Amino acid sequence: MTEVIETPHWERLDALAQAGDAKGLESYVETIGPSETFRALLRLGPEARERVLTTLSPEGAADLIEEIPEEHAADLIEDLEAKDAASIVSEMESDDQADVLANLDPADAEAILARMPPKEAAEARKLLPFPRDVAGGLMVTEYLSYPDTATVRDVIEDLNRRTEEGIAEDLHAYVVSGAGRLIGTLDLRDLVLARRDTLLAQLLKPSAHVKADAPLDELERFFVRSGEAAVPVVDAHQGLLGVVRHEDVAEALAARSEDDFRKTQGIVGGDEIRSLPLAVRSRRRLSWLSVNILLNIIAASVIAVYEETLAAAIALAVFLPIVSDMSGCSGNQAVAVSIRELSLGITKPFELMRVWLQEIKVGLINGVVLGALLALAAILWKGNPWLGLVVGGALAANTLVAVSIGGTVPLVLKRLKFDPAVASGPILTTVTDMCGFFLVLSFATAILPRISG
């Protein structure tokens, strides 16, 4: 039987693009899905990627770009001619437009905006100044709004004209004054039973809303509390700017969690994928690793000071990494809780004493329990209770140090305008290693005759 070898997706995409088969290409992209298409595009050269994107219809390319992480979507857009990029960006939802344009070089973004329809370019420029983690950066400008002087008949006729736009899926519209100020929400289901000549001002309900600078955590709390699918965004004068959808907030929260995790692992500077230039990937990782190696050298220097003690009681070498590692784990737990509470607004950067006291209580209990377990292991192994006292006592004391550092350092860094997710780890690791080594070796030096030999 002859084995059939399937053509790789990237080769198939390029072949369809070279043939100019737009319908076949769009059908194939729909078949393999956006994630597989993105993976395939990364295996093509810049010219082939551009050929695929420009062969797709602007709508099809926009649908694909919207499913790709924004930083990488911007890379794909940046490789295109400004007119081709503009035709694709024009078909994207307003929040996705702003995300992609914000990740471009300002000159490239402006060149694209200059070739977009004036109304859409103006809407995109309105969103660009907002950070991505506030309501203004997450909102969309595709929503239904009507003046309070409109009638039920006006709304129904407008909806009939706009059935294909797909912007009434939450069954709500917003009612504004003549000056554009938000004055209420209209449930579209109420239109069915209302007289056609009824003014919207008679049907509207009070509308919850958020300010454009409302942070992500405030938005999360709003949606948890209200159960709404969307919330209008207003400016300082109550003018309606856009709408934030619950699903977009959920995606932003997930993206932030992933970003924080990458930072704790030393992946800084945005999403890293292996198709990025080698120099960029290496530089991003080295920015973390080069600092870490210096900090580890500092921690290891403590051992050199107590070289004679370590030589006289070689069993201590087995327990040094255990003490530093277990303390580090306790400290990392405290770091995670502090960063979480800071992000939710539960804890403020100035609440150092409260956080420290809370962590000391947990650290005291856990330190005693962990220290006792390590002491017991040392006694069972060497039959020397003094060795157990040294390593167990050092672990208990270092656990207190670790939770104190882990709980309070993120607050200090936040207050100093540093990113606690990036900087807390190296500081915690260095301090717990240095203190762990110091405590074990200094305790051992004090009673060296009892544990040596």
Q: Is residue 134 part of a domain?
A: no
Residue 302: give the domain boundaries: 278-451
139 belongs to a structural domain: no
Contact criterion met (CB below 8 Å) for 77 and 65:
yes
Q: Please check whether residue 136 lies inside any domain of the structure.
A: no
Helix axes 106-115, 118-127, angle to 10 degrees: 150
Count of domains for the chain: 3
Helix (H) or strand (E) run with residue 232 in it: strand 230-234
- Residues 296 and 254 occupy one common structural domain: no
Helix, strand, coil percentages (3-state) for the chain, rounded to 5, are 65, 10, 25
Q: Is 364 within a domain?
A: yes
Q: Give the three-state DSSP class for 404.
A: helix
- Cα–Cα distance for residue pair 255/133, rounded to 1 Å: 10
Question: pLDDT at position 423, please?
Answer: 67
240 and 194 in a common domain = yes
Domain boundary among 261, 288, 311: 261
Distance CA 233, CA 97 (A): 18
pLDDT of residue 258: 62
Let me know whether 94 and 169 are in one domain.
Answer: no
Both tokens of 227, joined, read 């159960």
Q: How far is 91 from 87, CA to CA, in rounded Å? A: 7
Distance (Å, whole) CA 175 – CA 144: 9
Q: Is residue 267 part of a domain?
A: no
Amino acid at 246: H
The reply to whether 447 and 362 lie within a common domain is yes
87, 154: one domain: no
Residues 6+ apart with CB under 8 A from 334: 359, 362, 363, 402, 403, 405, 406, 407
Same domain, 390 and 334: yes
Alpha helices per DSSP H over 227-351? 246-264, 278-305, 307-312, 316-344
Neighbouring CB atoms inside 10 A of 67's CB total 13
Is the residue at 248 inside a domain?
A: yes
Spatial separation of the C-alpha atoms in residues 425 and 265, rounded to whole Å? 9
Judgement on whether residues 23 and 95 belong to the same structural domain of the protein: yes
Query: Could you tell me if residue 171 is left (phi over 0), alpha (psi between -120 and 50 degrees) or otherwise beta?
Result: left
For residue 232, the Cα-to-chain-centroid distance in whole angstroms is 23
What's the pLDDT score for residue 289? Answer: 62
Q: Does 273 reside within a domain?
A: no
On whether both 296 and 422 belong to a single domain, the answer is yes
Q: What is the CATH number of the domain that holds 38?
A: 1.25.60.10
Task: Look up residue 24 and give its two tokens.
Answer: 């076949």
Query: For the CA atoms of 31, 32, 34, 36, what is the dihedral angle to 10 degrees?
Result: 180
Per-residue pLDDT of the chain (453 residues; tens, 9 = 90+): 444 456 788 889 989 999 999 899 999 998 888 888 888 888 888 899 899 999 999 999 999 888 887 777 888 898 899 999 999 999 998 888 888 898 888 899 999 999 999 888 888 888 888 888 889 888 888 888 899 889 989 988 888 877 655 554 556 789 999 888 999 998 888 888 888 988 988 888 888 999 999 998 899 899 988 888 889 999 988 999 989 999 888 888 877 776 665 555 444 555 545 555 666 666 666 666 666 677 677 777 777 788 778 777 888 888 988 998 899 889 889 988 888 788 766 788 888 999 999 999 999 999 999 999 999 999 999 889 999 999 999 999 999 999 999 999 989 988 887 777 666 777 788 888 889 989 999 999 988 888 875
Answer yes or no: pTM beyond 0.75: no
**CA 384 – CA 139 distance, rounded (Å):** 66
Does residue 403 sit in the same domain as residue 369? Answer: yes
Q: Buried (b) or exposed (e) across 145-176, using 16+ Cβ within 10 A? A: ebebebbbebbeeeeeeeeeeeeeebebbbbb
In what helix (H) or strand (E) does residue 175 lie, and over which residues does it extend? strand 172-176
Residues 119 and 248 in one domain: no
pLDDT tens, residue by residue, 383-408: 899 999 999 999 999 999 999 999 99
pLDDT in tens, 40-73: 888 888 899 899 999 999 999 999 888 887 777 8
Give the dihedral of Cα atoms 49, 54, 55, 59; nearest 10 deg. 120
Contact 188, 162 (CB under 8 A): no
CA-based radius of gyration for the chain: 30
User: Residue 356 sits in a domain of what CATH number?
Assistant: 1.10.357.20
Whether residues 344 and 229 share a domain: the answer is no
CATH code of the domain in which 232 resides: 3.10.580.10
Last residue of a domain, one of 78, 102, 129: 129
Residue from 48, 96, 90, 94 nearest 71 by CA? 96
Q: Decide the pairing of beta strands 145-147 and 172-176.
A: parallel
Bridge partners (DSSP) of residue 140 are: 243
Asked if 414 and 309 sit in the same domain, the reply is yes
Question: Is 2 a member of any domain?
Answer: no
